[in-house]
Amino acid sequence: MSALAIISEVESALNGASSEKRTDILRRVTDLFVASSDNCSEAQADVFDGVMGQLISHVESRAAIELSNRLSSVSNAPRETVRRLANNDDVEVAAPVLLRSNRLTDNDIIEIAKLKSQAHLAKIAARPALSTDVTDVLVDYGNAQVANELANNAGAQFSQLGIAKLVMRADGDERLTNSIAQRHDIPPRQFQQLLMQATDVVRKKLLADAPPERRAVIEQVLEEISAQSVPRRVARQAMAIAQQTMAALSQDTALFQTKLIEFANEKRIPELIAGLSIISGVSNDEVEQLFYSPNELGMLVFCKSLSLDWQRAEMLILATPNAQTFEQEQLDELAAHYDRLSVASAQRLLRFWQGRQAVVRAMGKKMA
């Protein structure tokens, strides 16, 4: 049957026809398009687009899933139809085109990633190729499963900030740590931070599972880590006194903020941690963990989540033990990351990190 003949049936199919009839017409329209797709111009594809678009809203999910599967590998599939399928709330309908269709632009995918379910994001994370713009959004919005799927995807490209955020999310997550460690595009400094925050059990597993050429790299990083001195954490008594001091100052907001910067410059760590806990609502223990973290992104994210300007954030970051070895190039890179990182993104990442730490603490109590 010709395209015109099938198209003429669409109106009648939408007026009182059974679901089976509508599905049959959609299938015949799809057959005709797929059979002629090699010679189909964009203008002709647009005609099919209009017809399919009308029918999709009037067929059952099983028909939409079939259509999604059939169009997912067609290089010139009707663009709007593919977008509608990809945006379907039913992930079984959306999955084929989310996984495979080249008709979805980065902007299409980013919009879906920001609005749809984690199941949708997991399908996107498994696409054969992903740009840095897309992976940045997936790291921001995806749950642990999405992050792991992304880390395992050899076709995923990451920005410097994106891979740094993924490493921060791996703190306390053995599966994600292992997935990131298998990548060959992770920068040396992020790889070192990944291993520094990993437990001894995870480090040994990574070493045991690594191929010979990778094992040598891990052994070298572990040697560098063992040669570094571990900063002393704040004594509980000193922290209790600092909390009282900062609580008394917190009644005067201007004085409190001035004192925070003063304490950062003077390296008065207990007062600084206690003060940051008060203004953020993040627990003392979590602020202290971020402060002493080998991953400099932790404090950077924390400061950005508070909407601090870079001048104040830099003073706080420079007070951390990790910053004592920073060179100007590293500071410039952090400043660039800080400028690029949005407050909303920082707050999401901080929540992900806190959630993971809560899981780690719960598991620790259960095993104790």
Give pLDDT tens digits for 229-282: 667 788 889 999 999 999 998 888 888 988 999 999 999 999 999 999 999 999
CB 124 within 8 A of CB 138: yes
At residue 171, does pLDDT exceed 50? yes
Sorted by where each begins, the domain ranges of the chain are 1-103, 236-367
Q: Centre a 10 Å sphere on the Cβ of residue 98 and count the other Cβ atoms it contains.
A: 31
Q: What is the mean pLDDT of residues 108-125?
A: 98
For the chain, the residue count is 368
pLDDT of res. 137: 97
Average pLDDT, the chain: 90
Q: What is the largest CA-CA distance in the chain?
A: 84
Q: What is the pLDDT of residue 6?
A: 57
For tokens 């309908």, the residue is: 93
Q: In sequence order, which residues have a C-beta less than 8 Å from that of residue 6 and are 6 or more positions away?
A: 25, 28, 29, 32, 51
Note the pTM of the prediction, 2 decimals. Answer: 0.88
Is 181 in contact with 191 (CB distance < 8 Å)?
A: yes
The least confident of 8-22, 74-88, 133-147, 203-217 is 8-22
How many Cβ atoms from other residues are within 10 Å of residue 117's Cβ? 14
Q: What is the pLDDT of residue 79?
A: 92
Q: Which residues contact 100 (CB under 8 A, 6 or more apart)?
A: 72, 73, 127, 128
The CA distance from 192 to 247, in Å, is 37
Residue 314, pLDDT above cutoff 80: yes
* pLDDT single digits (tens) 53-68: 878 887 889 999 999 9
Q: Which one, of 280, 278, 275, lies nearest residue 343 by Cα?
A: 280
User: In 3D, which of 103, 143, 152 has the Cα closest to residue 121?
Assistant: 143
The stretch 186-200 carries a mean pLDDT of: 91
Residue 5 half-sphere exposure, CB side, CA atoms within 13 Å? 4
CB 66 within 8 A of CB 88: no
- Average pLDDT, stretch 63-80? 93
Structure-token pair, residue 175: 């599966």
Asked if 218 contacts 194 with a C-beta cutoff of 8 angstroms, the reply is no
Q: What is the pLDDT confidence band of residue 1, given thresholds at 50, 70 and 90?
A: very low
How many Cα neighbours within 13 Å face the side chain of 30? 23
- Residue 32 binned pLDDT confidence (cut-offs 50, 70, 90): confident
